[in-house]
Structure 1
Amino acid sequence: MSTPQTSHIDRLRALPKAEVHAHLEGCFEPLVLEQWAARAGVAMPRPPDRLFEFTGLADFLHFLDWACGLASTRERLAELSYGFSKRLADSGAGYADVIVNPTHWKAWHGRLPEMIDAIDAGFSAAEQDGLPPVGLCISLLRTQSSDAAAELVDTLIALRHPRVVALSIDGNEAAAGRTGPRFAEAFRRAGQAGLRRTVHAGESSGPEGVRDAIELLGADRIDHGVRAIEDPELVELLVDRQIPLAICPTSNLKLGVYASIEDHPIDRLRHAGAVVSINTDDPVLLGASLEGEYALCSKAFGWSDDDLRALARNSIEASFANPDLKARLIQALSSW
């Protein structure tokens, strides 16, 4: 017999929606990592029962490098990608844009076309099995050089892989400092070549990172962006231009951006007129699910069904899915 709580989660799972801020690097299951590490003779960074206990963003990013280093074969990358699609379907998402940062994946350095091909194999197999389609956002790391950024964009433009929908940038803004000017040219060229642009900003940096993402990098979408709330003029700019914010509440809590969900600005941003969507960031590593994020915020902020429908619609419209798929998802949403 279902309880009111389980039936609410089931309804949220059934809500037609997209995920627009998730990292493939954040989708390793602990048992899989333990098996891969044993086979490679590599030490675990912590005991298995505490594997995903992070002291902050820097520790978290260091862990990503370790985990991704174990995904050394085409089969492992394809398996990881298929698993991401399965997780999407289990949460009731009809599409996702997933971020992959090649710098984390040691075994694939200098082999980006092969890496994209291996990831594509997993997503294609998933689609053939009826799982949701996924677009790939290839990400720069903030500590890279402008030359490395130019080289990545050159590779993506030459490759023109149909799975790749966007250029992204992520990493620890607080450690890297201001990087917008360094990457402006790479993002300009990516946009000219037809790639969408999505930018991590306003997480470990303040609102100035969000402003640079808009004015220097031409962001079509901001990943996080929550600290824009600290600058009312910036919030007005986001509202005027309707630049979506892909917000990940649990991530912001677990990585120490906010102390509690009640302190989180997602609802204030929404009431100010900003386009916000709900996402998981690194779902397995942070113990988040898409329906769980909707439930968390819905309870904290007293959201109605109309509010939830509006947020789901934002996620679909903010995605880089093709227009036909967006139309189908929005049509399904109207009858939820």
Structure 2
Amino acid sequence: MSDYRTLPKAEVHIHLEGCFERDDVIRNCKEAGIPLRRPRDELFKAEDLKSFLEMLDWICGTFRTREQLFGTAYKFSQRMATSGVRYADVIVNPTHWPHWSGDIPAMIDALDAGFAAAEQDGNPPVGLCVSLLRTQSEAQSIELVELLSTIRHPRVVALSIDGNEAAAGRTGPRFAEAFRRAAAAGLRRTVHAGESSGPEGIRDALELLGADRIDHGVRAIEDLELVDLLADRQIPLGICPISNVVLGVYPSLEQHPIDLLRKGGVSVSINTDDPALLSTTLEDSYKACAATFAWDDEIIRQLARNSVEASYADPVVKARIMADVAVWQA
């Protein structure tokens, strides 16, 4: 059986909010006098996407000091190194963090310090994708982009948007101006779509938000013209197969469309979404998909190349990883 930890790759769809260690959250609660939401063994339990997002809000609310953010960023980079990730784009949504949403520059500085210290210690470089929530207003979205444009922090590589599309309804028109301004400011644009929404959410992400990468995007399979469009434009999909099964988007990995999308010419990559909360790792996700879809080493190498090409890494970093992918053998 192949050891996919040795595969040089990028992780391009992962949320910092989904990478917490249980013991760290419990320690935060003890320090701040916060009662646990559930018993220790069920602390990260959620029944569906709605309860999952509610859990994220509670967990993030336990992080109240710069030192806690520094430690979270450092441990994230260590997690990536353990899985053989050579570069990661990590999504952070300030709306989940009640003690930091009013001072986003301080939040970014604290996370940046943790990522920088980890990279100095030999862990992979990390880019920060600052995310809007779909329930925010147009004014709030523009305010965030203007802030990011003003501070121009080198750690911030992209504007993102996430949240429950099914609950929020169609939001593309509301956020179009924010994403237009993000593009003008030189930020990349990555959009959650085609998870709780159907193909129409992906079309809005492309046509209204100018997305250069789609997070999830799996429900494009329901519209073959859209599949062809994604393939023609080579818009990458940051797919999280295990997350999609655990959160009920698909009943099983066998019924997941990642292989059909790959065969349709779409640039797909394997990612973890919220690995700590979903009890998975990137190498396990590769292993499960390879076994389910009978992928050989060349297909695995192509998926790794896709992840690197889809990433917002510096071109020099990309070239270095690509060279290592070319000589990788299982």
**Counterparts of 2:191 and 2:262, CA distance in 1:** 19
Aligned partner of 2:21 in structure 1 is: 29
Match of 2:91 in 1: 99
Consecutive unaligned residues of structure 2, counting only runs of 5 or more, are none
Deviations 1:5-51 (A, max 9, x none): 4xx2x3x1111100000000001111111121122221212111112
Give per-residue Cα distances to partners, 1:295-328, cap 9 Å, x unaligned: 0100000000000000000000000001000000
Paired residues for 1:163-312 under 5 Å: 163-312=155-304
Superposition pairs of residues 64-143 of structure 1, within 5 angstroms: 64-143=56-135
Alignment of 1:37-48 (within 5 A): 37-48=29-40
Alignment of 1:145-160 (within 5 A): 145-160=137-152
- CA displacement, residues 206-253 of structure 1 (integer Å, 9 cap, x when unaligned): 111001000000001000000010011111110110000000011101
CA distance in 1, matches of 2:198, 2:226: 11
1:252-282 CA-partner distances (Å, limit 9, x unpaired): 0111100000010000000000000000100
Counterparts of 2:101 and 2:237, CA distance in 1: 30
Q: Deviation at 1:53?
A: 2.0
Q: CA deviation at 1:110?
A: 1.5
Structure 1 residue ranges, 4+ long, deviating more than 6 angstroms after superposition: none
User: Helix, strand or coil for the counterpart of 2:36?
Assistant: coil
AA paired with 1:227? Answer: R
Which consecutive residues of structure 1, in runs of 5 or more, have no partner in the other structure?
A: none
Letter in structure 2 aligned against 1:127: E
Q: Secondary structure at the match of 1:107?
A: coil
TM superposition shift of 1:335: 0.8
Letter in 1 for 2:285: E
Q: Percent identical across equivalent pairs?
A: 66
Rounded to whole Å, the distance in 2 between the matches of 1:45 and 1:178 is: 32
Q: Please report how far the alpha carbon of residue 201 of structure 1 lies from its aligned counterpart in structure 2 after TM superposition.
A: 0.3
RMSD: 0.7
1:318 to 297, 301, 310: 310
TM-fit CA distance, 1:52:
2.1
Q: Distance in 1 between matches of 2:244 and 2:46?
A: 13
Could you state the TM-score of these two structures normalised by the residue count of structure 2? 0.98
The whole-number CA distance in structure 2 between the counterparts of 1:328 and 1:203 is 32
Alpha-carbon distance in 1 for matches of 2:145, 2:12: 21
- How many pairs are equivalent? 328
